[in-house]
């Protein structure tokens, strides 16, 4: 047996994953434990969870893999600053102490952290609270740690994209901000081999170009890109020509170069500069300020540019590989609108996107890369992956809590609840959803990646005309313009959407079919800007975006039987096998992990019902003091 732990950390979205004999056993993001969104710290709790799930100790591991190569990153940092000197000296001075103190000594740092985890494991497993810690420290020091490996950043992305996919042969495209040097890369995956074919290097980066507009429109880099994508349909792509003329030169093969005189991200503390602002005749939009038509039009324009580059790079990947399958990873692969355009183009027969496409997924990619390149040949009896399914197990790779733990969490706060058997639960909750109730749905193993896929979800009725605004403002506490995604029975997806493939990870956007759209009345069609959110555009207004699109999740009985059963019961009641599905969290927080997290979020918002496995809580029955306490904690964080 070969066990490999993968780690991503120290930039954003730290995570851990464990692979045993090539099979993914567990994976989780550190933010779910620390409750710090996009937490970049060493993923101590995520690692501990993975080891518990695999029933292992640190000393049982054969390898630990870090998701990139810090020395290559340091080389890029030095070359970039030297090439731009003296410009950017302040940023250089800020970065150097961190690199010289920690990142250049990453091997020592990782070994220190692993020994600290081993210390805690020994102390906990052997109940040594009363023993002199020096005894444990000696045992830890005498223990041989597993071999450390470092994969390149885009190699980790490519491995996360290809190896868990259902394909034995595929073109692989990775698009993100930047790794060591690469910002875009094309690979060919064949059985256990990943061969690099083409790269675009920093500072020329599609991810950083998109993030520059994210920053300029008043959103946070590395978290606000979803908002920019959601805002785009409200605007017009009026700046496309300016962007192509001044900011980015796009070639026929999808390769591109940025004109760096407009950007500051290479050597400064901001994404854009005064010359960028002058190009659009406006200053960077203040964070959280009211959105204007300018931001809508900028969002629309950069989305069009992004889609053009993605389609051209994908076409070049097909020309290089002659493959009919495509795998995607990297932060840009979370742009589900571009993914939908790629799918609709028919360029590839099959497209698979890693559900944790960002840096979190690279923890898994690093572990899989080392398994396939170093260890797999020693296990000739390893089962070949089924061509009909992928290796991500629905992305349900995180913590799971049983009824006993859930009931204990409720009783510890004296919260009233009721227990229902499965059939009664599905029937009752479907009825409540059909009456415009908002339901927190907590079950099974937590999702790995940014999307809620039916285990840490907030659910609502897609037929409701006011559900989008109600959930955005009262529950999610986020911007009113942001759309909600539909979770639909897989066999019903083509009935409602122009979707030619499955989308189990909510990473494809498709249009609502023509026959379900509603003709706009003159007064309604005259609405402009964010007012368009009030238009009733289809029979499913809560999940239909202003351009008639929807970010679709197809739900499959063999992948998530409980969520499938709820949708089936809702279909029996309403003739629509679909629900709004959004992540179980409020603005500024990561999705909930534990029953305690779920209860806190439920009490602090206007959610009506909380379902945790077979345990049901009603807001109207909860103690006023508990609700007030949860809201105080929530507002204190704000």
Same domain, 204 and 343: yes
* pLDDT tens profile 354-378: 999 999 999 999 999 999 999 987 6
- The reply to whether 594 falls in a domain is yes
Write down the pLDDT at residue 131.
63
Asked whether residue 588 carries a pLDDT value surpassing 60, the answer given is: yes
- Do the Cβ atoms of 18 and 62 come closer than 8 Å? no
Same domain, 530 and 633: yes
- The reply to whether 575 falls in a domain is yes
Rounded CA-CA distance 120/106 in Å is: 21
Distance between first and last Cα of the chain? 47
Same domain, 218 and 244: yes
Asked whether residue 543 carries a pLDDT value surpassing 90, the answer given is: yes
Same domain, 333 and 428: no
Same domain, 124 and 185: no
The CATH number given to whatever domain includes residue 445 is 3.90.870.20
Q: Which structural domain range is residue 501 located in?
A: 403-637
- Do the Cβ atoms of 278 and 221 come closer than 8 Å? no
Same domain, 176 and 218: yes
Is the full-model pTM beyond 0.75? yes
The CATH number given to whatever domain includes residue 311 is 3.30.420.40
- Do the Cβ atoms of 53 and 25 come closer than 8 Å? yes
Q: How far is CA 109 from the centre of its chain?
A: 27
Same domain, 293 and 176: yes
Q: How many domains does the chain have?
A: 3
Same domain, 336 and 428: no
Neighbours of 287 (CB within 10 A): 11
- The reply to whether 81 falls in a domain is no
Write down the pLDDT at residue 78.
74
- Name which of 512, 514, 510, 538 is nearest 524 in CA terms: 538
Question: What is the residue-wise DSSP string for 356-368?
Answer: T-SHHHHHHHHHH
- The reply to whether 380 falls in a domain is yes
Which of residues 385 and 240 earns the better pLDDT score?
240
Same domain, 249 and 129: no
Same domain, 171 and 111: no
- The reply to whether 560 falls in a domain is yes
- Name which of 230, 565, 560, 547 is nearest 427 in CA terms: 565
Write down the pLDDT at residue 210.
98
Q: Residue 100 — very low, low, confident or very high, per pLDDT cuts 50/70/90?
A: low
Contacts of 589 (CB under 8 A, 6+ apart): 35, 37, 601, 637
In the DSSP assignment, the letter for residue 580 is E
Same domain, 443 and 477: yes
Write down the pLDDT at residue 99.
66
Same domain, 341 and 368: no
* pLDDT tens profile 376-403: 876 654 444 444 479 999 999 999 999 9
Compute the mean pLDDT over every residue in the chain, rounded to the nearest whole number: 91
């Amino acid at each position: 047996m070969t066990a490999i732990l993968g780690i991503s950390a120290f930039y954003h979205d730290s995570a851990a994953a464990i692979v045993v004999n090539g099979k993914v056993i567990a994976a989780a993001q550190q933010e779910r434990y620390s409750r710090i969104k996009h937490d970049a710290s060493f993923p101590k709790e995520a690692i501990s969870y993975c080891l518990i799930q695999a029933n292992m100790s640190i000393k049982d591991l054969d390898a630990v893999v870090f998701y990139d190569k810090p020395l290559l990153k340091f080389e890029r940092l030095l070359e970039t600053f030297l090439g731009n000197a003296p410009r950017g000296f302040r940023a250089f001075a800020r970065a150097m102490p961190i690199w010289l103190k920690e990142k250049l000594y990453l091997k020592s740092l990782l070994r220190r952290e692993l020994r600290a985890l081993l210390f805690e494991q020994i102390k906990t497993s052997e109940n040594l609270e009363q023993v002199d810690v020096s005894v444990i420290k000696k045992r830890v020091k005498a223990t041989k740690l597993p071999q450390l490996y470092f994969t390149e950043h885009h190699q980790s992305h490519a491995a996360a994209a290809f190896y868990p996919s259902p394909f034995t042969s595929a073109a692989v495209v990775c698009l993100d901000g930047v790794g060591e040097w690469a910002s875009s890369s094309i690979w060919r995956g064949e059985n256990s081999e990943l061969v690099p074919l083409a790269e675009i290097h920093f500072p020329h980066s599609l991810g950083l170009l998109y993030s520059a507009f994210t920053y300029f429109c008043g959103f946070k880099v590395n978290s606000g890109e979803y908002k920019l994508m959601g805002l785009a349909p409200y605007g017009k792509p009026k700046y496309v020509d300016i962007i192509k003329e001044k900011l980015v030169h796009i070639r026929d093969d999808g390769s591109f170069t940025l004109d760096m005189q407009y950007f500051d991200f290479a050597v400064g503390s901001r994404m854009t500069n005064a010359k960028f602002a002058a190009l659009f005749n406006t200053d960077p939009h203040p964070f959280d300020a009211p959105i204007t038509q300018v931001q809508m039009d900028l969002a629309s324009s950069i989305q069009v540019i992004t889609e053009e580059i993605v389609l051209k790079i994908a076409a070049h990947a097909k020309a290089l590989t002659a493959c009919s399958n495509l795998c995607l990873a990297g932060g840009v692969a979370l742009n589900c609108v571009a993914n939908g355009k790629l799918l609709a183009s028919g360029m590839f027969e099959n497209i698979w996107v890693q559900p944790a496409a960002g840096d979190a997924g690279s923890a898994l990619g690093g572990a899989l890369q080392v398994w396939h390149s170093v260890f797999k040949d020693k296990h000739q009896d390893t089962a070949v992956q089924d061509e009909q399914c992928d290796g991500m197990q629905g992305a349900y790779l995180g913590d799971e809590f049983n009824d006993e733990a859930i009931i204990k969490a409720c009783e510890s706060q004296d919260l009233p609840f009721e227990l229902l058997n499965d059939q009664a639960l599905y029937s009752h909750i479907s009825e409540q959803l059909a009456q415009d109730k908002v339901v927190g749905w907590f079950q099974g193993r937590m999702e790995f990646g940014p999307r809620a896929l039916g285990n840490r979800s907030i659910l609502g009725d897609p037929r409701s005309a006011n559900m989008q605004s109600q959930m955005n403002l009262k529950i999610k506490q986020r911007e009113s313009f942001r759309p909600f995604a539909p979770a639909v029975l897989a066999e019903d997806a083509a009935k409602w959407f122009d979707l030619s493939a499955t989308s189990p990870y909510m990473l494809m956007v498709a249009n609502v079919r023509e026959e379900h759209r509603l003709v706009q009345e003159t007064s309604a069609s005259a609405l402009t800007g964010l007012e368009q959110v009030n238009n009733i555009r289809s029979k499913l207004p809560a999940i239909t975006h202003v351009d008639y699109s929807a970010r679709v999740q197809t739900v499959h009985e063999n992948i998530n039987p409980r969520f499938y059963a709820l949708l089936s019961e809702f279909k029996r009641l309403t003739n629509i096998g679909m629900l709004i599905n959004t992540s179980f969290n409020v603005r500024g927080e990561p999705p909930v992990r534990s029953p305690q997290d779920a209860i806190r979020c439920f009490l602090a918002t206007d959610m009506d019902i909380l379902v945790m496995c077979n345990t049901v809580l009603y807001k109207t029955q909860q103690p006023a003091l508990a609700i007030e306490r949860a809201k105080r904690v929530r507002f204190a964080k704000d």
